Amino acid sequence: MPELPEVQTTVSGLSAIIPGLVITNTWTDYRSDFYRGKDVIHNPIFFKQFKKSVIGKRVSSVSRRAKNILIHLADNQGEMSGTILVHMKMTGHLLYGDYNREDPFNRFIHFTLTFSNNKTLELSDMRRFAKVTWIPATHLGTTTHLQGIGPEPLEDTFTYTLFKNRLHKKPNGKIKTVLMDQTVIAGIGNIYSDEMLWRAGIHPERQVESIGEIQLKKLFHAMKEVLNKGIDFGGDSMSDYRNIDGNRGKFQEQHCAYRRTGKKCDKKGCAGTIQRKMVGGRSAHFCDTHQQR
């Protein structure tokens, strides 16, 4: 699943291109009885409402909240009308204009927006789990789609004290599981939790309350460094994530733990080997030497 760096890479790409464009059409082949009565475009009845709400509206800006892409729209008078929310889920990614069509992961198109410049924004979603919905401007602050999300870890206001307090909301939880809990901190998933724990030298199964101040501060700085590095390298494309041009990010070339099972630990002076085990239903990759439990 795309995490904070992949979503931010997508948002940054779109922010440079689509503000000012008017939506002239939209299409989807999402259709499932499972979503009957729900406010997502998988529900054909909702999609009809979605289509009426977005066509003719101008893109005012694009932003991110946790793992959600928010495309904000305005009417002809410049008044905010609402927001298209896209959550890429397991295998989704957004593609714009003349993107790379040779990559096989870019061929699973299930949703499009057509703009006034005759270019399209397309959602490739191999497993069809992605979420697209419409939130009226008056509901953006109260929508259930954005409720209960923890603070953004890269904001200047996210201090060490706040980080510590958020983790200690679940003192008995395993640190990897707590880091990935979106109600605790926004945007961290499987890849980046492995990498930040490797940097901080903390075993993924350590209970939060057992981690001392020194290691917790190391983890705080590792979190900031790893997430920023993920953005700098354009996201992680070890799986199917692609940027809006349909190209791979490069953070997978920087992995020290994630999916390096059986390989020698890269930490200087460490003779350990990267191990893999399930933690809270998710795979965890860690060094068997410098990440002692």
Residues annotated as part of the active site: 2-3, 67, 282
Amino acid symbol at 92: G
- How far the first Cα of the chain sits from its last, in Å, is 27
> Are 242 and 122 spatial neighbours (Cβ–Cβ below 8 Å)?
no
- Cα 62–85–13 angle (5° rounding)? 35
Question: Distance between CA 18 and CA 1 in Å, rounded?
Answer: 24
Q: Exposed e or buried b for every residue in 187-211, given b needs 16+ CB within 10 A? A: bbbbbbbbbbbbbbbbbbbbebeeb
Q: Tokens 């209970």 map to which residue?
A: 207
Place of tokens 């406010």: 39
Ranges assigned E (strand) in the chain: 23-28, 58-65, 68-74, 80-87, 92-96, 109-115, 120-125, 131-136, 274-279, 282-287
- 115 contacts: CB under 8 Å, gap ≥ 6: 18, 21, 22, 23, 24, 59, 121
